[in-house]
Structure 1
Amino acid sequence: MTTTIEAHRLVRRFGRFRALDGLDLVTRPGVTGLLGPNGAGKTTLLRVLATVTPHDEGTLRVLGHDPSTDVGRLAVRRSLGYLPQDAGFHPGFTVFEAVDYVAVLKEHTRSRARHDEVRRVLGLVGLSDVATSKVRTLSGGMRRRLGLAQALLGTPDLLVLDEPTVGLDPEQRIRFRDLVAEAGHGRTVVLSTHQTEDVAAVCSHVVVVNRGQSLFDGTVEELTALAEGRVWLDDRRDPRAQAAWRLSGGVFHHVGDPPAGAELVAPAIEDAYLLLLGPDATQESAA
């Protein structure tokens, strides 16, 4: 299968701080999920992949191009859909105008075809009925869907999505998962999220990032398997567990090294994520 992103030993500095500290990443068509705590380097990595910010060291190829060159950067941008954490739409634009403006920037020059494309992506994210509403009147979830609409313009070969489900209600998140799963057929989607259930639902590939480095790179099943034999239930909270929380039935779910005779249960991706990160899973990194 064709490699779409190849990043080796990427470094990105902000003063003395290394937001990326020798990170490796290889992706192929399909959906890759980035998991990691706040400050782990996920947003910086996505900004580098989306050609928003350059890397300082290492090598990077995106869709066969070198984004550190003018020619390569332009080629990547012509095949890219990018949803940043804050899309920054002008509040005075209507929903239609906001997406149409981005379509013009993406070189959709024929007005009739461009307007058809704008209507298509607004329909995909469920915003057709508010197309004439001002951006400033939208809820946070609607603005997130507006950002996703502009990223989908032109059916890009690479979608880079930073926290795409923030502010979405459960129904909207299900719709988002369907959109992303569809987009991942024959194309590459890289999405950053704190929601392990989103990764489990739509991602064929998962990378766990912390302190600017990749801690894990593999399938969801391979990540989940790291917690096999290390998840158990008990009527009382065990202080020796790495993480524990009360379930709705009153018993406690534990992750860590189980005591002898513990009631082991099948792990979920969240359990493996907590084990992999250790204390950093519940604390923001220094960034």
Structure 2
Amino acid sequence: MLTIKNLSKQYNNGVHALDDINLTIGKGMFGLLGPNGAGKSSLMRTLATLQLPDSGSITFDGIDVLTQPNKIKQVLGYLPQDFGVYPRVSAYELLDYLAIMKGLTNPKVRKEQVLALLQQTNLYEHRHNYVANFSGGMKRRFGIAQSLLADPKLIMVDEPTAGLDPEERNRFYNLLSEVGKNIILILSTHIIEDIQDLCTDMAIINRGQVLKQGSPKALMAELQGQVWCKQSGNLNLKQLAAQHQILSTKSNGAQKAVHVHSQHQPDSDFTLVEPSLEDAYFKALNSEKAISSASNNQE
């Protein structure tokens, strides 16, 4: 179990990257969903002990992450959004070197695990090629391979499918699903489909605050009977926004579709639809904006 309590971090420029974060995360794949700049990467870096928070605590299976960083590193696998590689080092050589850094000093055991991970990530046939020459998808898969060294109990991946084509993205999905069955795997992303397809539990985060936590199904179920859709080639979005809470708008050729949140049918042109995770996501962000606006008006 990973427990995060009252975690806060303010940078020197005054930005509250983390603002009293509280999360409890169990075994399985956990999605951290939020827009760019929401604080996801700041949370991941703090969990990985790459930066210290101003206040709060983090515990993982009895380990105090903030006071025992070396202990958490022994059971942690981390794939940041961007990671560098040496220009003239093969996949096997680099993974072997990283394995030594992770404490795998037995040559036979290390070789077996390195080759097994290259096979698992579908990189075995490229093991003698330079990682610097890999495609974006291959580099992300190599990143997962290095994060799996030494059988970690906690894995964190930050924006893992950014820049991947659909085929590589699906391959990455399958790999994450396979490795995330018996450990805690935290997937940080702004791509809603990544969370909906992979995660059994999730949190929506923005401006360094947790807005919602629960399973994707539970968050969608909260909006059952409250999401309405209208399609038209002549939508007056300004007027709709004045009357209803707009969740999202999408263009489909000359037609536009708008989803609104309402307890009752807005008018006869609106049709009740099944809530999506996208609806739940935008509802959480809109509610946060409304609270923030009301607070500013009171001040």
Secondary structure in structure 2 of the residue aligned to 1:186: coil
1:207: how far off? 0.4
2-side partners of 1:247 and 1:226: how far apart?
Answer: 27
1:217: how far off? 0.7
Residue 248 of structure 2 is matched in structure 1 by 243
1:10 to 7, 10, 32: 7
For residues 219-250 of structure 1, the C-alpha deviation after alignment (integer angstroms, 9 at most, x for no partner) is: 11121124332231322435123421123694
Residue 108 of structure 1 is matched in structure 2 by 104
Whichever of the two has the greater Rg, that structure is 2
Contact conserved, 1:158 with 1:188, CA < 8 A, in 2?
Answer: yes
Matched pairs, number? 276
TM-score, scaled relative to structure 2: 0.86
Contact conserved, 2:57 with 2:66, CA < 8 A, in 1?
Answer: no
Matches within 5 A, 1:110-189: 110-189=106-185
- Identity, in percent, stands at 36
1-side partners of 2:61 and 2:228: how far apart?
Answer: 40
1:270: how far off? 1.1
2:188 to 192, 203, 212: 192
1:222 to 215, 218, 224: 218
1:278: how far off? 2.3
Matches within 5 A, 1:54-65: 54-65=52-63
2-side partners of 1:231 and 1:58: how far apart?
Answer: 41
Secondary structure in structure 1 of the residue aligned to 2:63: coil
Aligned alpha-carbon RMSD (Å): 2.0
For residues 156-202 of structure 1, the C-alpha deviation after alignment (integer angstroms, 9 at most, x for no partner) is: 11111111112322222222222222223221111101221111111
- Structure 2, unmatched stretches of 5+, are 241-245, 290-299
2-side partners of 1:59 and 1:114: how far apart?
Answer: 34
TM-score, scaled relative to structure 1: 0.89
Moved over 3 A (4+): 247-251, 255-258
Residue 267 of structure 1 is matched in structure 2 by 275
Secondary structure in structure 2 of the residue aligned to 1:207: strand
Residue 91 of structure 1 is matched in structure 2 by 87
1-side partners of 2:253 and 2:106: how far apart?
Answer: 56
Secondary structure in structure 2 of the residue aligned to 1:45: helix
